[in-house]
Amino acid sequence: SAVISQKPSRDICQRGTSLTIQCQVDSQVTMMFWYRQQPGQSLTLIATANQGSEATYESGFVIDKFPISRPNLTFSTLTVSNMSPEDSSIYLCSVGGRLNYGYTFGSGTRLTVV
């Protein structure tokens, strides 16, 4: 399975600022996924990032707030823009395996907005 390097692992940010999270995969993948995990909760999909096209956002998430880049088949970034305390969460990137195989996740970015 793929290996994902995600950074930063954690950050404390001031409200109104932006943070960019990076994920590097050790193999080429078509789709990468970005999830949010609020404190004590499960994972919620933010968007799907395909190389060469705009990301597809889930209901409740918009590009202006969570812009995503996917410059090549091994790398993606998620930016959390104009942050507020409600954005304090763990953000995870993921890549999917082949049909019926598991997904691999980065170790997550724990974001605290103060």
CB 47 within 8 A of CB 99: no
Q: What would the x/- binding string for another protein be over residues 61 to 100, using CB under 8 A?
A: -------------------------------x-x-x--xx
Per CB under 8 A, does 16 bind another protein?
no
Beta strands in the chain (DSSP E): 4-7, 10-13, 19-25, 31-37, 43-50, 56-57, 68-72, 75-80, 89-95, 104-105, 109-113
Per CB under 8 A, does 107 bind another protein?
yes
Per CB under 8 A, does 5 bind another protein?
no
End-to-end CA distance of the chain: 37
Least Å from the CB of residue 36 to another protein: 11
Q: Residues interacting with another protein, by CB under 8 A?
A: 4, 6, 9, 31, 33, 40-45, 48, 92, 94, 96, 99-108, 110
